[in-house]
């Protein structure tokens, strides 16, 4: 049986599909999956048997309605699909799914739970409850198509992975915990106060004197900020801008712990089995986006009546001061780290 799966973006959302895809293939031995997404996300799927990854050219050949029709034709050239799983639920994936549906192919699409999320994030009288995890929403799409999917919600077992040689040159042999810090996110409501990252590093070093702190980020502006921090704190190792995505994943595999915002780094660390202390501001784990296999007990967040005010952290703060992130103490993050890496007693 051949199944087409569509999820174009974003990085964290695509990463969250991986444990679901693996489980679908594990429990359905006669199934082959063609996964359509962006080329930059191919690395997440390289070790999955019976999966073919297709990266459309969304900027040229497959741009616009005409391009989507060409993509539809290109996908049908080599494979007769029995069903389509739309894990994205946006106009582009809906158009592509509809084209297949018109040819008699069974289609199922994600239910994003928009009304539930609206109730969770409204300004007053919130319905403050844990919503269905995004990975379970993905799994529901496959269940609708008749597949058996039972998610464990446990971190995968770590694989043997070499630390990039460029990193080993700077770190030497491992003598204490390796901790990653990824303080950035796409939207302001999810970003950590950068002026507090140095304080967090100091507190981690005080708690774990032999630790190495690795700094993660992406994009020119983030790398420039982290470069200044790396220069100021010689006990840190700058990962951002120095490694490819596969190398970053190898490094994350060798970390004892990752500290990340509600961002792609949380999901990437989850993929390789690394525990994450996730830091939450305007968003909340209740919306269903916590990393696969991660515990809400490891989530650093402060209770405020206005939280969460956004599903993605992209809305303006009602208070205008972003206190949910600005006032989050570094000591709270360190306390969560201690739950995972107990400090050595003197």
Residues 2-144, CATH architecture: 3-Layer(aba) Sandwich (3.40)
Bridge-based pairing of strands 276-279 and 212-215 is unpaired
Tokens of 86: 């739309």
286-303 pLDDT tens trace: 999 999 999 999 999 999
19-41 pLDDT tens trace: 999 999 999 999 999 999 999 99
User: Whole-model pTM above 0.75?
Assistant: yes
CATH of 165-340, one of 3.40.50.720, 3.40.50.1820, 3.50.50.60, 3.40.50.2000: 3.40.50.2000
92-147 pLDDT tens trace: 999 999 999 999 999 999 999 999 999 999 999 999 999 999 999 999 999 999 99
Checking 194-199 for CB contacts under 8 A at 24+ apart, the result is: 194/225, 196/330, 197/229, 198/229, 198/232, 198/233, 199/330
User: Residue 238: pLDDT above 60?
Assistant: yes
- How does DSSP assign 92-154, residue by residue? HHHHHHHHHHHTT-EEEE----HHHHHHHHSSSS----PPPPHHHHHHHHHHHTT--------
> In angstroms, rounded to a whole number, what is the distance separating the alpha carbons of residues 24 and 34?
13
Q: Report helix, strand and coil shares of the chain as percent, to nearest 5.
A: 40, 15, 45
User: Residue 211: pLDDT above 60?
Assistant: yes
Structure-token match 């220069």, residue found: 231
User: Residue 170: pLDDT above 80?
Assistant: no
pLDDT attached to residue 173: 79
The domain locations on the chain are 2-144, 165-340
**Same fold: 2-144 with 165-340:** yes
Q: Which of 188, 212, 186 is nearest to 266 (CA)?
A: 186
């Amino acid at each position: 049986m051949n199944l087409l799966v569509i999820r174009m973006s974003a990085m964290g959302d695509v990463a969250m599909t991986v444990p679901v895809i693996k489980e679908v293939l594990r429990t359905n031995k006669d199934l082959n999956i063609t996964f359509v997404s962006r080329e930059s996300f191919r690395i997440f799927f390289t070790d999955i048997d019976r999966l073919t990854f297709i990266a459309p050219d969304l900027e040229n050949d497959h741009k616009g309605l005409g391009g989507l029709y060409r993509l539809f034709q290109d996908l049908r050239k080599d494979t007769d699909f029995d069903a389509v799983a739309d894990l994205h639920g946006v106009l582009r994936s809906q158009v592509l799914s509809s084209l297949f549906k018109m040819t008699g192919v069974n289609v199922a699409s994600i239910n994003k739970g928009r009304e539930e999320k609206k109730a969770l994030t409204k300004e007053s009288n919130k319905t403050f409850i844990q919503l269905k995890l995004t990975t379970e929403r993905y799994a529901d799409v496959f269940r609708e198509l008749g597949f058996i999917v039972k998610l464990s919600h446990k971190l995968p077992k770590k694989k043997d992975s070499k630390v990039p040689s460029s990193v080993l040159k700077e770190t030497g042999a491992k003598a204490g915990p390796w901790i990653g810090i990824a303080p950035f996110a796409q939207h302001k409501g999810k970003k950590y106060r950068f002026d507090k990252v140095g304080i967090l590093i100091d507190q981690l070093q005080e708690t774990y004197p032999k630790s190495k702190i690795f700094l993660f980020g992406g994009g020119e502006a983030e790398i420039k900020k982290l470069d200044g921090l790396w220069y100021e704190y010689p006990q840190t190792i700058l990962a951002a801008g120095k490694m490819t995505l596969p190398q970053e994943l190898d490094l994350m595999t060798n970390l004892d712990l990752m500290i990340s915002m509600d961002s792609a780094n949380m999901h990437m660390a989850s993929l390789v089995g690394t525990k994450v202390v996730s830091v939450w501001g305007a968003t909340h784990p209740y919306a269903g986006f916590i990393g696969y296999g991660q515990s809400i007990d490891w989530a650093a967040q402060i209770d405020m009546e206005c939280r969460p005010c956004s599903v993605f952290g992209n809305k303006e703060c009602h208070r205008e001061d972003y206190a949910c992130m600005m006032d989050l103490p570094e000591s709270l993050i360190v306390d969560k780290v201690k739950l995972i890496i107990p400090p050595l007693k003197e």
